[in-house]
Structure 1
Amino acid sequence: MPDVVRTEALLKETEERLRSLPSTPTPEEARQTVIDAAVEAQRTDGAPIPADIGEQAAQAYTGALAPHAERIALATAVNALKRRLPLLKSRGSRAVLASLAAQLDDVMDEVRTIIARSGHLDADSAIEAGEQGLTDYRRLRELVGVVDEIRRVQRSVYAEIADRGVLASLYHAGHDQFCGIPAQDDEGGSSYRPAPHPDALPADVLSVVRGGRRRDVPFLIYMAESGRAWLPVDVEELTEVSCDAEDVGTPDDGVNPLYQRETAVPEPTAPRRPRI
């Protein structure tokens, strides 16, 4: 995204210029300093107020105008560039995400081709299948790494244009990786558990989604065969999925478990006795 890179460079340069400016008074402060000094000299030493006090104060005011205006100009430019960056990132993000989605589709097609040729491979079955099986299994492991990188870039793009708390809720449920995920079952202490929803993710897949373990070949095979693996290009549409979801904290890269948020529960007030 050239526009984003250019704007970020301008922002960095302008911020550095702003930081390098010496500390200077505002015109009002400079004028008041001259006046206060004259008044204090009269009060303590009896010195008369200078005949040209107005001219001195005016000169101080005028002399402070240029450095103060420069600071205002640079600060205004920094704020304007900071406001522009999210817009530019949002515009460019769709093209980046669309490219990532196409890469993911290509990976899924290749995985399905391997499955059709060699079946559901693991380390043991790959050895039994001979040279072709070993080659296909090695390729599946390589594709796991490709998916890891696709998801890493995907989340880095999301982080630039969406609320991190909302993203954490999406990641916790797996909405950024699989479509058609139903509302999650209650995870509280209730002994009642409804029957699993037919579209719910399998426990081992959900463990990967929530950072309990890393992606592996079985996870990759599930992605390809389920037909539900996706990479949402429209971030606004994606975030609408969890409008009512709880903010579970700031997400990381998806490898570590998500942070949990504690909520303080106030103690109940004591009941009041009726006055009889």
Structure 2
Amino acid sequence: MPRRKTTPAPASVWDAVPDVVQAEKLLKETEERLRALPPTPTPEEARQAVIDAAVDAQRTDGAPIPADIGERAAGAYTAALAPHAERLALATAVNALKRRLPLLKSRGSRSVLAALSAQLDDVLAEVREITDRSGRLDAATAIDAGEQGVADYRRLTELVAVVDDIRKTQRSVYGETGDKGVLASLYRQGHDQFCGIPTTQPDDVGQWSRAEPSGALPADVLEVVQGRRRRDVPFLLYMAESGRAWLPLDVEELEDEARGAENTGTPEGDRNPFYQRETAVSEPSAPRRSRI
């Protein structure tokens, strides 16, 4: 059976977005040209240097101010115009490209993430084929299953590394297009890896029910999601079997999933978690007219 293509992402995830590739190439070339320029004074600095030199000579040596000081200063100013303008043009181009790149990456991120999502689907499909053929393998059962079991278990460990690459690339794309603080919160909940995760938080004046919310991730899976354990074969099997593994195609879809999966739980004492006490504020009395 031919093996599905589950190779890691390219060195640069943006290689598949022509506009980003072109902009990054232009930025690199322009930055190299800018760095190669020798240091030069501004026209104002060049003109002032001629004037300062003449004044210093008069003060220290008694030399008269040259009769052509104006021409000399103007010549220095003119000579400095071209190199200064070149530096200014290149610096302006660098800044413009740096400002444009986030926009181009935002536009192209969906196609990049769609390709990653398809790659993840291929991984999960291959995992299901393996479990259909050899069962839920671990290091011990793989040996008992013979040569095919060992080969299948070895392939599962390879697919764990592929998933690592996919998720790393996925987050790098989100980091280019979303708020890093918001993303970190969503990552801790696991919304970027699994759909349907409930979001619970304590009430200001009470505690939620101790019952685990419906749809919560298993403890060992949550440890991986929160970075306390590395991905392993059992995690990979859960991804394939749960039907909840996914890869949002943009930051907005990721945030929408998190909002849509919110679960307020059951507050103790039947408190309404969204209740806010309202304090009536009386209107100020109308000013009284003085009789004086």
Where on the TM-score scale, by shorter chain, does this alignment land: which range?
A: 0.7 to 0.9
The reply on whether 1:217 has 2:228 as its aligned counterpart is no
Distance 1:41 1:231, change over 3 A: same
The reply on whether 1:147 has 2:158 as its aligned counterpart is no
Once the two structures are TM-superposed, the CA of residue 130 in structure 1 deviates from its matched residue by 4.6
SS at match of 2:252: helix
TM-score (norm 2): 0.72
Alignment partner of 1:9 out of 18, 22, 25: 25
- Residue type at the aligned position of 1:107: V
Residue-pair matches, total = 240
The reply on whether 1:100 has 2:122 as its aligned counterpart is no
The reply on whether 1:19 has 2:35 as its aligned counterpart is yes
Contact 1:169 1:242 in 2 (8 A): no
Q: Distance in 2 between matches of 1:238 and 1:191?
A: 28
The reply on whether 1:90 has 2:113 as its aligned counterpart is no
- Counting only pairs closer than 5 Å after superposition, residues 182-197 of structure 1 correspond to structure 2 as 182-185=198-201, 194-197=210-213
Distance 1:44 1:141, change over 3 A: closer
Q: Deviations over 1:1-49 (max 9, x none)?
A: 3332332222122112212222211111111222223333334444333
Distance 1:29 1:162, change over 3 A: same
TM-score (norm 1): 0.76
Q: Distance in 2 between matches of 1:141 and 1:43?
A: 81
Distance 1:34 1:204, change over 3 A: same
The equivalent of 2:50 in structure 1 is 34
The reply on whether 1:202 has 2:218 as its aligned counterpart is yes
- Counting only pairs closer than 5 Å after superposition, residues 62-211 of structure 1 correspond to structure 2 as 62-185=78-201, 194-211=210-227
Contact 1:175 1:181 in 2 (8 A): yes
The equivalent of 2:253 in structure 1 is 237
Once the two structures are TM-superposed, the CA of residue 128 in structure 1 deviates from its matched residue by 4.1
Contact 2:194 2:246 in 1 (8 A): yes
Root-mean-square deviation (CA, aligned residues, Å) is 2.6
Once the two structures are TM-superposed, the CA of residue 132 in structure 1 deviates from its matched residue by 4.7
The equivalent of 2:277 in structure 1 is none
The equivalent of 1:47 in structure 2 is 63
Distance 1:30 1:78, change over 3 A: same
Q: Distance in 1 between matches of 2:64 and 2:143?
A: 103
Once the two structures are TM-superposed, the CA of residue 185 in structure 1 deviates from its matched residue by 4.8
Q: Distance in 2 between matches of 1:107 and 1:123?
A: 20
Structure 1 window deviating more from structure 2 (207-216 vs 39-48): it is 39-48
Listed as ranges, the gaps of 5+ residues in structure 2 are 1-16, 260-292
- Residue type at the aligned position of 1:47: A
Contact 2:199 2:258 in 1 (8 A): no
Structure 1 window deviating more from structure 2 (174-183 vs 157-166): it is 157-166
Q: Percent identity?
A: 75
Listed as ranges, the gaps of 5+ residues in structure 1 are 244-276
Q: Distance in 2 between matches of 1:225 and 1:92?
A: 31
Q: Distance in 2 between matches of 1:145 and 1:219?
A: 12
Once the two structures are TM-superposed, the CA of residue 191 in structure 1 deviates from its matched residue by 9.2
